[in-house]
Amino acid sequence: MVLEEVEKEFSLRRAESIDGIPTFYCHRELVLPLMERLKRDFEVLLDITAVDYLGRKEKRFELVYHLLSLSEKMRLRIKVELGEGEKIPTLSFLWKNANWLEREVYDMFGIEFQGHPDLRRILLYPEFKGHPLRKDYPLKKSQPRIKLLRPERE
């Protein structure tokens, strides 16, 4: 696979990378066709995660995809900038494990994945309000499910 071709075809923007893994920004609209193309060479979806850059003017979140190609022996990182409330298509039909990874991102950041077959919280309990890895979630705010015998913090 020639990375330069894909880079040109999907007008990817190269991002700086301190660990040597090629990293690109992709436009939100082009994620689905890009991933469909990349799936041919990158058999493994290693991780989907997100970062909340609270305070940025427009696009608050950055969604990060980590891909691994066993045939090409290389890794690739794709970043997508997302604004508050912006949705992103699911990849769960391309890589099966994207299902749970996307549920985790939804759980922690509240980013919604369009077309996801089962977008529920995966780690936290259903009664939980808010998304704890958002930077505006209070650092030590817990939401007990049962009545506690004493207050947790002074």
Partner 1 sequence: MKEGNFITTTLESLIGWARKYSIFQYPFVTACCGMEYMATAASHFDIDRFGAGLTRFTPRQADVLFVVGTISHKLAPVLRKVYEQMTEPKWVVAFGTCTITGGLYDNYAAVQGIDAIIPVDIYIPGCPPRPETVLDALMKLQEKIQREKQKWSLRK
Where along the sequence are the contacts to partner 1 (CB under 8 A)?
123-125, 132, 137, 139-146, 148-153
CA distance 148 to 123: 21
Task: Return all residues near 129 (Cβ < 8 A) that are at least 6 apart.
Answer: 143
Task: State the burial class of residue 100 (Cβ atoms within 10 Å of its Cβ: 0-12, 13-18, 19+).
Answer: middle
Q: Which helix (H) or strand (E) holds 109?
A: helix 98-109
Nearer Cβ to partner 1 (73/140):
140
Q: How far is the CB of 143 from partner 1 (least distance, A)?
A: 7
Residue pair 70/43 in contact by the 8 Å Cβ criterion = yes
Nearer Cβ to partner 1 (2/148):
148
Report the alpha-carbon angle 132-129-93, nearest 5. Answer: 70
Q: How far is the CB of 17 from partner 1 (least distance, A)?
A: 29
Q: How far is the CB of 107 from partner 1 (least distance, A)?
A: 11
Nearer Cβ to partner 1 (37/121):
121
Nearer Cβ to partner 1 (20/151):
151
Q: How far is the CB of 85 from partner 1 (least distance, A)?
A: 22
